[in-house]
Amino acid sequence: DIQMTQSPSSLSASVGDRVTITCRASQGIRNDLGWYQQKPGKAPKRLIYVASSLQSGVPSRFSGSGSGTEFTLTVSSLQPEDFATYYCLQHNSYPYSFGQGTKLEIK
């Protein structure tokens, strides 16, 4: 099974800050990785697919990069609505696996 190690587990930042979240896969997964945002009581929302493609309707301040075993999600200028929990998901092989999540909080 592929393990996804996501860091940091929590992050405190201010509106306008640039933040980066990282996911590392225990083995190569090509670009079979998505990033999701989840707000309390809601289903996750996909932000990025195949590592770097922006989901339709998602603001361009979100971007993804990486391939193989190391991936990043960057938010270029945090907005109030971006404070949420973020997860990566590998879909290269079964069982799919999520990172542990990063809770992004307002400083």
Using CB under 8 A, list all residues that contact other proteins. Answer: 1, 32-34, 36, 38, 43-46, 49-50, 55, 87, 89, 91-101
Answer whether 102's CB lies under 8 Å from 10's CB.
yes
How many CB atoms are closer than 10 A to CB 90?
Answer: 23
Answer whether 23's CB lies under 8 Å from 33's CB.
yes
Quick one: 69 or 85, whose CB is closer to other proteins? 85
Cα gap 59→6, rounded to integer Å: 22
Quick one: 83 or 96, whose CB is closer to other proteins? 96
Q: Provide, rounded to whole angstroms, the least separation between the CB of residue 14 and other proteins.
A: 25
Quick one: 17 or 72, whose CB is closer to other proteins? 72
